[in-house]
Amino acid sequence: MTDMLIYPKVTDYAVPFFILAILIEIAWITFKKRGGRYETRDAMTSLFMGVGSVVSGILLGFIAWNFFMFLWWLTPINLGASVLVVVICFVLDDLRYYWVHRFGHRVRWVWASHVNHHSSQHYNLTTALRQTWTGTFTLMMVVRAPLILLGFHPAMVLFVGGVNLIYQFWIHTEAIDKMPRWFEAVMNTPSHHRVHHGRNPRYLDANYAGVFIIWDKMFGTFVPEVEDEKVDYGLIHNIGTFNPIRVAFHEWVAIWRDWRQPGLTWKDRWNYAVKPPGWRHDDKGGSTELLKRRHVARNPEVAGTPGFEDYKA
Amino acid sequence: MPLHILAPMVVVGLLIAWGTMRWAGCSRDLHFTTVEDARLHWLRHRPGAKPRDIIVASDGRAALVEVASGLWLLRSFGIDSVIHHLDQAQLTPVNQGLTLGFQEYDDPKAKITLTPEEADIWRDRIKAHQQESRND
């Protein structure tokens, strides 16, 4: 299949809306004295990461595009471009997003790319734009392969991916508390996504959804925002730089340094790339499970509550 | 969207966002006002590691924190804070304090403003701790 299909690059067209929404959020927080926090250098770092991500897409996007067009050439199936097909593609791509995002937190090679999105200690609309520059190197483009082989045109797959990212912009805010119950049940919301950005043991490795929170409920990774436990944003070990280049590459450098430790086997080096962040060959690392276990040991009353269902006091 | 429209729009957007944040007072730095304040910030980073001793710099932007796992630096980072283990930190005396060099790519250096008396105390404390660590 080689016929062409053209969709607008929706993320580019959304830029004026992003800027306007950020200004409105700053004004809201300033005048209302609630609904989040802004720090100039942190927010500017996030915005520069967003710009760098667009530049990275321009420079490296051809790799994924050629891979997708190769798959499109291979597949004998063409589902066309009807509205129904676009809707189905959007839903299936959101499932794809869930798994890529989950790998992004559980496989260090993918985390090295995604970590920058979590590297701010703030949670506001600029955090949404703190995007990766190195996504191409993770090779997670292969997770989109089934969609194209099933007959969804690569242009359509990228279009719905862009719509997915635009949806996720507005959920990066503390200015919205909770949406109506039916909406919270089905859709990803500011409340659900705040949990995802939390470094509290309760909230670690939860709520990977892009648009539909149902994937987390289906695959057992859903944790609700608990009223009496405010989300603490950032990383387990927060980074101390506003330099976008250091933000973009710090975990890749950390992997390289781990690989260069003396006395490692090749299996150790492999594990430093594919095991969850925090894994160490000498067992001195701090996994999510260990952090949760320690937290429950210190606070036995939380055992069995959301985020600690599998942990006993 | 053509690049000649997108690029200027992004530049103007960044400038407006920066100006708005400056106007809204978002460029302040965190200061640890008391030892207790520093302790609370420390516990946010390491909830399980209760401090044995804390020394807050007189400008309130850094603190030495001693816990069971050793000596740490707690320092302000915008309106937030970050921590560093001081086991392998490189100390360099500078005019108004100390510069601490770290191995981490995400935060290679921290300049700590200290009075000459404070700088002596901090340097002695860090060096003593590093010596102890080497002996262990």
Rounded to a whole number of angstroms, the distance from the CA of B30 to the nearest CA of chain A is 11
Of A84-93, A112-121, A227-236, A279-288, minimum mean pLDDT range = A279-288
pLDDT tens, position by position, A228-281: 999 999 999 999 999 999 999 999 999 999 999 999 999 999 999 999 999 999
Nearest to A241 among B13, B48, B106 (CB): B106
B99 sits in which H/E element: strand B97-101
Report A:213-242 residues touching B (Cβ under 8 A).
232, 234, 237-242
- Choose from B80, B83, B100, B102 for mutation: most chain A CBs within 10 A: B80
- Choose from A24, A33, A38 for mutation: most chain B CBs within 10 A: A38
Nearest to B44 among A232, A241, A253 (CB): A232
The torsion region of residue A234 among left (phi > 0), alpha (psi -120 to 50) and beta comes to left
In chain A, residues with a C-beta closer than 8 Å to the C-beta of B107 are 239-241, 246
CB contact under 8 A, B21 and A23: no
pLDDT tens, position by position, A12-30: 899 999 999 999 999 999 9
In chain A, residues with a C-beta closer than 8 Å to the C-beta of B22 are 40
What's the CATH code, domain B35-135? 2.30.29
- Residue A81: other Cβ atoms inside 10 A: 16
Nearest to B21 by CA among A42, A241, A78: A42
Query: What token pair was written down for A139?
Result: 């090779």
Q: How confident is the model at residue A285 (pLDDT cuts 50, 70, 90)?
A: confident
Which DSSP string do the residues of A226-241 spell out, in sequence order? PTTS---BS-SS----
Query: What token pair was written down for A124?
Result: 């506001």
* Pairwise CA distance, residues A216 & A307, whole Å: 13
In chain B, residues with a C-beta closer than 8 Å to the C-beta of A30 are 24-25
Domain count, chain A: 1
User: What is the interface size between A and B, counted as CB pairs within 8 Å?
Assistant: 108
What are the structural domain ranges in chain B?
1-28, 35-135
pLDDT tens, position by position, A123-161: 999 999 999 999 999 999 999 999 999 999 999 999 999
Structural domain of A238: 1-313
